[in-house]
Amino acid sequence: MENWLIKRAALTPNRVAIQYENKKLTFQEVLEQAIEMAEKIAFVAENDPRIALIMNNTLTGYLAIMALQQLGKTIVFINRRLSADEINYQLSNAGIHTVLTDDNYIQILRVNRQIKFSDLSLRKTIVPVVTFDDNFVTSIMYTSGTTSQPKGVMQTFQNHFYSAMASALNLEIRAEDSWLAVVPIFHISGFSIVMRGLIYGMRVVLQRKFDAHQINNLLVHENITTMSVVPVMLKQLLVDLPSEVNYNKKFRAMLLGGGPTDLLTLQQAKNHRIPVIQSYGMTETASQVVALDSTYAEQKIGSVGKPLFPVRLKIADQTGKNTQQGNIWIQTPTLTIGYLNQPDKLAEKMVDGWFNTEDYGYIDDEGFLFVQGREGDMINSGGENIFPNEVEDIYADYQGLEKIAIIGVLDDKWGSVPVAIVQGKNLQVEQLIQFGRRRIAHYKVPKRFYIADTWHTTASGKTQRNLFLAEIERLKELK
């Protein structure tokens, strides 16, 4: 394919490509500024095949992405929230010599060149890449390992292109659309929006950080049509939004990832005429591969929907044999070509062209997918399977409960039983138990509740249940 930025600038040079704070750049202006930055990067790292980026959602960070693509470099996205040791592991694993960072990034890393964006000054004339090879690895993102070191997921231009096509068909995206990006552009959720902007010729409205009041103000007063959120963001937006206020008339979709939401939140969104499209995807699939049309949001509560146009889906056991309930397997052209420096890891998850996501779930009679959780998190209690996600979602509506993690502990009678790690205000154990018993089977209700001083999560916000399990003996039990 032709270089996406050059192609887009030729097709629609005067259309707004990116908006950040009070500044807007057209596609032609993005191309010019990206080449200027590419010349500065080439002066210091011309021979580096891979360059790492550490940044927030800023205009400079966006231009750095565009610049590296003009140079034909593979971008290694680093989560700036990680510790120096965690980042150093990823830099070493990816063979990185040069890291480009925001000006306010202060950690010192073990790398040959650690350069702030503002320190890029001298330039070397470059010739932008003419074509993007479908199979070229344009981005690498490290998955957040909950029990092992993270793996570098390699994403090709073809992966991103098919992901954009699937999203366009699902959301009926048009060139006049504007996508608000407040999810990090160093994660697949945010970077996919950047790539879609190039392909669709669509305006991307970039936000540095999530502030519910500020975001609501944008969605009410600007012609923004789409936004990507996780459940906690959606809840905060709805709490902040006055009951008599709705978003601008062109707003069409709140794309929800990172887990399903509850019926109360969906009803609140409906009252504000906000279509919520729940979805399912991962770094390995270059964003969502399954989505639930907002029409079915209440009817299919808990479902993430049906596979998008180029995606196939099935439920099978670990060997790939079809089952009613089991592992979620997919076939998709958006699937990664592999994990960096671990050529056998992807093959371990593949059977006859199908990829085992290692998530557990089922497909109902109408073809809707329900994700119950990671198979490794499943608790077997007296022969009954309990999925922590299901129990945690039920308790999300409990007033005063801020965080909850369900883990399984050994039990002489049942083999294993669920217990809860919690944070919150004015929590009483008997009320928590009764709340659960009114909503789910009694064997799924946590047998004990423990108060956590600190909350263990990965860099991308996933709860690390194994760390809670390791420290449970020293946690205070709620009485």
Comparing 248-262, 266-280, 318-332, 417-431, the range with the smallest average pLDDT is 248-262
Closest CA to 407 of 372, 378, 427, 385: 378
- CATH code that applies to domain 378-477: 3.30.300.30
Q: Measure Cα distances from 184 to 187, 194, 321, 326, 463 in Å.
A: 5, 11, 37, 32, 18
Give the mean model confidence (pLDDT) for residues 464-477: 89
State the pLDDT at residue 147: 52
The helix/strand/coil state of 259 is coil
* Residue 284 confidence (pLDDT): 97
For residue range 326-367, what is the model confidence (pLDDT) as tens digits?
999 999 999 999 999 999 999 999 999 999 999 989 999 999
DSSP H helical ranges for 101-178: 157-171
> In percent, how much of the chain has pLDDT > 90?
79
Strands 226-229 and 253-256, bridge-based pairing: parallel
Q: Which residues contact 440 (CB under 8 A, 6 or more apart)?
A: 390, 391, 394
Which parts of 155-201 fold into alpha helices (H)?
157-171, 188-200
Q: What is the mean pLDDT of residues 284-288?
A: 96
Any idea what DSSP says for residue 383? T
Coil/strand/helix, residue 225: coil
Q: What is the pLDDT of residue 180?
A: 98
- Phi/psi for 26 (5° steps) reads -80, 170
Beta strands in 364-448 (DSSP E): 369-374, 379-381, 384-386, 401-411, 415-424
Q: Residue 52: what are its φ and ψ, rounded to 5°? A: -95, 145
The residue with tokens 């009817």 is 299
Is the confidence at residue 419, as pLDDT, over 90? yes
The pLDDT score that the predictor gives to residue 275 is 96
How much is the average pLDDT of 101-105? 96
Listed residue (216, 271, 272, 221) closest to 248, CA to CA? 221
Tell me whether strands 276-282 and 354-363 are parallel, antiparallel or unpaired. Answer: unpaired
459, pLDDT greater than 70: no
For the chain, give every domain's residue range.
4-132, 161-375, 378-477
Residue 409's nearest CA partner among 368, 381, 442 is 381
pLDDT reading at 398 higher than 60: yes
pLDDT in tens, 188-213: 999 999 999 999 999 999 999 999 99
Q: How does pLDDT run across 126-161, given as a tens digit for each residue?
A: 999 999 999 999 999 998 655 568 899 999 999 999
pTM: 0.87
DSSP state of 295: G
β-pairing, 325-331 with 354-363?
A: antiparallel
In CATH terms, is domain 4-132 a member of 3.40.50.980?
Answer: yes
Buried b or exposed e, range 267-294, using 16+ CB within 10 angstroms: ebbeebebbbbbbbbbbbbbbbbbbbeb
If one compares 150 and 114, the residue with the highest pLDDT of the two is 114
- What pLDDT, in 10s, does the model give residues 67-91? 999 999 999 999 988 889 889 999 9
What is the per-residue pLDDT for 372? 84
What 3-state DSSP class applies to 228? Answer: strand
pLDDT band of residue 262 (cuts 50, 70, 90) is: confident
The fold of 161-375 is Rossmann fold (3.40.50)
Amino acid identity, position 7: K
pLDDT of residue 277: 96
The reply to whether 161-375 shares the fold of 4-132 is yes
Question: Residue 439 has what pLDDT?
Answer: 87
Is pLDDT at 260 greater than 90 in this prediction? Answer: no
Indicate the SS3 state at residue 447.
coil
